[in-house]
């Protein structure tokens, strides 16, 4: 169930609706940021639109948090223009009133209940006393926390603490929600619940920007991703299109052997193009497309290789980042 305030806002956008016509919520244009001698962002451009989930991917230290700090007005760029809801968030308070940041750390009072936390935080955020209890209810429903409203935060599981952290950010009904690795260290159920919350918000017009190191999460959740490398978005767009550009029809085949191969089988594996992995039973090779899978399986059987498992593996983030970086050299 969505809280009534969502129902009163923009109607949900059907899935797959092109977002290019949706209003821009934030734009970063030609951004440069240096910390002393160290240049972190150089020529970064990004537009976030209402009703989209944008996942920011990149290695540690590539500038994801810096980009968030630019949007929240916590720091100014060395060069370039930042506009959030049409204004510079460093100079004007209005954009900051329309956005919320969910930090990675849990920013709650452990000895208060979920509801008490949200009431106290709502007061600190300047919500009117008469609005607070309604906003607290809304936020708890959106974050799927109602059944834990009277639990002390210190007694909540990690997943529920994260939901409460997000609920706090929703008290002001933000039109732009920024989340720093929202699902790190939570179990599958909590992750799916957080994803549902973010989709509900997106479907009612909120722009959501999140950082993640998890390509599966970006795949499952985001409308677009941006890959930060060499100080700018080296890739940007729907993840399927980016992977197609990088890999085309190529797929990685992974074999798990039933037992370690003898010399003859080692030769056969190498002849078929397989490379060893750190696990002595696991071998991998890149093939031209999934249709080659059957032929490969027959060749392995003919060579007498005892297979425990054979599968196609989706590329992981590390591999994608390496390919993007190679493309930049």
CA distance 325 to 51: 30
Instruction: Single out the segment in contact with ligand ATP by CB under 6 A; choices: 60-68, 87-95, 124-132, 246-254.
Output: 60-68
Residue closer to ligand ATP (CB basis): 40 or 287: 40
Residue closer to ligand ATP (CB basis): 104 or 303: 104
Please give the C-alpha separations between residue 62 and each of 33, 40, 99, in angstroms, as whole numbers.
Answer: 11, 7, 23
Measured at the CA of 210, the angle between CA 228 and CA 241, to 5 degrees, comes to 55
258-287 residues in contact with ligand ATP (CB under 6 A) are none
Query: Residue 100: exposed, middle, or buried by beta-carbon count in 10 A (0-12, 13-18, 19+)?
Result: buried
Give SS3 for 32.
strand
Among 25, 40, 136, 239, binds ligand ATP (CB under 6 A): 40
CB atoms within 10 A of CB 110: 12
CA distance 237 to 225: 6
The site that binds ligand ATP (CB under 6 A) totals a number of residues, namely 11
Among 4, 35, 123, 316, binds ligand ATP (CB under 6 A): 35
Residue 64 sits in the site that holds ligand ATP (CB under 6 A): yes
Q: Across the strands, what pairs with 32?
A: 42, 79
The minimum distance between CB 37 and ligand ATP, in angstroms, equals 10
Residue 61 sits in the site that holds ligand ATP (CB under 6 A): yes
Residue 62 sits in the site that holds ligand ATP (CB under 6 A): yes
Q: Report the Cα 5 to chain-centroid distance in Å.
A: 25
Give SS3 for 14.
coil
Residue 60 sits in the site that holds ligand ATP (CB under 6 A): yes
**Residue 319 φ/ψ, nearest 5 degrees:** -65, -45
Residue closer to ligand ATP (CB basis): 168 or 227: 227
Residue 63 sits in the site that holds ligand ATP (CB under 6 A): yes
Residue 183 sits in the site that holds ligand ATP (CB under 6 A): no
The minimum distance between CB 97 and ligand ATP, in angstroms, equals 24
Residue 132 sits in the site that holds ligand ATP (CB under 6 A): no
Residue 205 sits in the site that holds ligand ATP (CB under 6 A): no
252 with 315: CB under 8 angstroms? yes
Among 65, 78, 157, 303, binds ligand ATP (CB under 6 A): 65
Residues binding ligand ATP (CB under 6 A): 35, 38, 40, 58, 60-66
């Amino acid at each position: 169930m969505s809280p009534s305030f969502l129902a009163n806002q923009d109607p949900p956008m059907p899935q797959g609706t092109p977002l290019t016509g949706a209003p821009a919520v934030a734009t970063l244009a030609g951004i440069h940021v240096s910390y002393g001698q160290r240049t972190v962002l150089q020529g970064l451009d990004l537009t976030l639109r209402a009703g989209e989930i944008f996942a920011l991917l990149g290695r540690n230290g590539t500038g994801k948090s810096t980009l968030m700090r630019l949007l929240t007005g916590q720091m100014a760029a060395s060069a370039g223009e930042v506009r959030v809801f049409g204004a510079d968030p460093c100079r004007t308070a209005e954009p900051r009133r329309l956005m919320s940041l969910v930090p990675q750390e849990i920013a709650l009072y452990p000895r208060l209940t979920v509801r008490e936390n949200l009431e106290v935080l709502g007061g600190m955020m300047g919500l009117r006393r008469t609005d607070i209890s309604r906003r607290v209810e809304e936020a708890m429903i959106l974050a799927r926390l109602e059944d834990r409203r009277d639990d002390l935060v210190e007694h909540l599981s990690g997943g529920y603490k994260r939901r409460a952290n997000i609920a706090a950010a929703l008290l002001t009904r933000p039109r732009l929600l920024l989340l720093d690795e929202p699902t790190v260290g939570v179990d599958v159920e909590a992750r799916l619940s957080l994803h549902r919350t973010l989709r509900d918000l997106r479907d009612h017009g909120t722009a959501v920007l999140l950082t993640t190191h998890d390509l599966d999460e970006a795949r499952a959740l985001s409308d677009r991703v941006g890959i930060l490398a060499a100080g700018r978005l080296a890739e940007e767009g729907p993840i399927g299109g980016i992977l197609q550009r990088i890999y085309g029809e190529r797929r990685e085949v992974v074999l798990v052997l039933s037992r370690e191969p003898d010399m003859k089988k080692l030769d056969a594996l190498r002849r078929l193009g397989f490379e060893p992995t750190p696990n002595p039973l696991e071998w991998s090779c890149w093939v031209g497309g999934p249709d080659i899978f059957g032929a490969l399986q027959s060749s392995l059987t003919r060579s007498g290789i005892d297979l425990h498992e054979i599968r196609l593996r989706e590329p992981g983030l590390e591999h994608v980042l390496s390919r993007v970086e190679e493309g930049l050299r």
